Amino acid sequence: MNTFFSDWYYLSIRNIKLIWRPLLALLPPFFMPIFFFAVNSLSLSALAKVPGFPDVSYKDFIAPVAIFTAIFFSAGNAGIELVQDIQSGYFKKLIIMPINRLAIVLAKLTEIAVQSLGQGIIMLTLLLLWGVKIQSGFLGVLAIFAILIIFAMAWSCIGMISALRTQNARLVQSLFILVFPLLYLTTSQTPRALLPSTFATITDYNPVTHIIEGIRALVLDGWGSPDIGYAFLAAGGMFVVFVTFTMLSFRKALK
């Protein structure tokens, strides 16, 4: 057991250091969410006056999406980093050493958790400076980060699964296109009540919808909404499923 935690700790330190190398690589995940938030909150502000829209400003309505998107964009980098480790020979060195296999995966997830926390704090600070208020208070902020970190670790597993099975950097990088359908086939821009029935039904089956709605409830309403529990269930379910598939892919890569 001590060996497991030691392996996890030292691999996590190594992975966390990769977050800042290079530092400029952190800019796109910040720029795009800020850009979309600024443009949408200004150009689509009139939507808040449409009958059926919640009694909040459009800026506050899409603020949770900005936090979510910043983490969504960056969590996919885990797969690219893993491909680089495979191609450089570092991954092969890991698997021939007496290192716990689960610790290798958890160390990568720890990196994602730390990166998500840092990016989330910065994005939240910018939103607060913009005038957004979190109705659920400090505990609500902690709940928001908990949901997002669980989701980020789950989403990063998709890239790692692809990296382990294909070992192709171009293919892993192309998974970025999944971000947009998963993000926009939700209630990210418009309340469900204002969506066409077919589109609304699609959003119901998208787990990202429930995560966004849970974060939105914490931002706009406080603790009274069941959407918060659904968000934790959606993020936790994705985590269990994708981590399981990651471990299976890891074992297959060792054969």
**Residue 222 is which amino acid?**
G
212: pLDDT confidence band, cut at 50, 70 and 90? very high
- The predicted model gives 4-11 an average pLDDT of 85
Find the domain containing 56 and state its range. 2-254
Q: What is the pLDDT of residue 148?
A: 92
Question: The tokens of 73 are what?
Answer: 């964009």
Tell me the whole-structure pTM to 2 decimals: 0.89
pLDDT, position 254: 65
Task: With beta carbons less than 8 A apart as the criterion, state whether 5 and 99 touch.
Answer: no
Average pLDDT, the chain: 85
Q: pLDDT tens digit string along 68-109? A: 888 877 777 778 888 888 888 888 888 788 787 788 888 889
* 1 vs 155, more confident: 155
Is the distance from CB of 221 to CB of 140 less than 8 angstroms? Answer: no
How many domains is the chain built from?
A: 1
User: 144-167 burial, b for 16+ CB within 10 Å, e for fewer?
Assistant: bbebbbbbbbbbbbbbbbbbbeee
- pLDDT attached to residue 142: 94
Instruction: Identify the band that residue 21 occupies on the pLDDT scale cut at 50, 70 and 90.
Output: low
- Choose among 223, 249, 227: nearest CA to 138: 223
Give me the percent of the chain exceeding a pLDDT of 90: 24
Closest CA to 218 of 206, 230, 202, 207: 230
At 116, the pLDDT band (50, 70, 90 cuts) reads confident
Q: Tens digits of per-residue pLDDT, 186-211?
A: 998 889 888 899 999 999 999 999 99
First to last CA, the chain: 25
Structure tokens at 241: 């499923």
Given pLDDT bands bounded at 50, 70 and 90, which one contains residue 167? confident
Sequence letter at residue 242:
F
Give residue 172's pLDDT band: very low, low, confident or very high (50, 70, 90): confident
